[in-house]
Amino acid sequence: MGRTATNASRPNMGDRMKIDKYDKIFSQVVREAADWECEICHRSNIRMECSHDRSRRYVLTRYDPRNAICSCSGCHRRTTESADDHVESFRRIKGSEVRQLMRELSNSRGRLKKFEREAIHKHYKRELGRIKALRMNGKVGKIEVEVPEVLL
Ligand SMILES: [Zn+2]
C-alpha cells in the first residue's frame, strides 16, 4: 500500500496509518515511562512521540513496549528518514537480542482478536495508573513497562 522501491530500505517510511485507541494509550504509557525524555537525544520539554522499531503495520509488535521508544519529534523524523540512524538508535537502546525477537514476532502469523486488543487496552490503563502513581511519589527516570500477557 503506497510502498515504493525508494522506501523499501526505510522500514517506517510511508506509514500513514490511523492511530487507534490502543495506539493512543500505548503511546502515552511509553512516553510516561520514559519520563517524557527522548531516549535518543535525552532532551525533554519538547514534543515527544512514540517511535516503533518494527512498523505499526505489524500487528503483533504494534503494542509491545520492547518495540517502542519515547522519541522527540526531531529524532523520530530523523530515524524515519534514515535507516542507518534508525537501526543504530534502536540497537543502542533495546539491544540486538530484543530487536531480533521483535523481528521474529512481527513476522509470525497471527492476528489480534477484539478481546485481545481490549485486554491490551486494560493492561495499559493499569500500567499508566501504576507509573503515574510512582511519579506522584517522586520517582524520576525510566520505568520498565510490563508487556501485556496476550503478547507473551
Ligand atoms: Zn530526541
CA 150 / ligand 1 centre spacing (Å): 31
Quote the pLDDT of residue 119.
98
CA 137 / ligand 1 centre spacing (Å): 27
Quote the pLDDT of residue 35.
98
Quote the pLDDT of residue 4.
39
DSSP 61-82: HHT-GGGEEEEEHHHHHHHHH-
CA 118 / ligand 1 centre spacing (Å): 31
CA 77 / ligand 1 centre spacing (Å): 9
Quote the pLDDT of residue 109.
85
- The C-alpha atoms of residue 43 and residue 133 are separated, in whole angstroms, by 23
Q: Which residue numbers in the chain have pLDDT < 70? A: 1-15
Q: Where are the domains of the chain?
A: 18-151
Quote the pLDDT of residue 75.
98
Quote the pLDDT of residue 13.
53
CA 111 / ligand 1 centre spacing (Å): 32
CA 80 / ligand 1 centre spacing (Å): 12
Quote the pLDDT of residue 2.
37
CA 128 / ligand 1 centre spacing (Å): 22
Q: Note if the pTM is more than 0.85.
A: yes
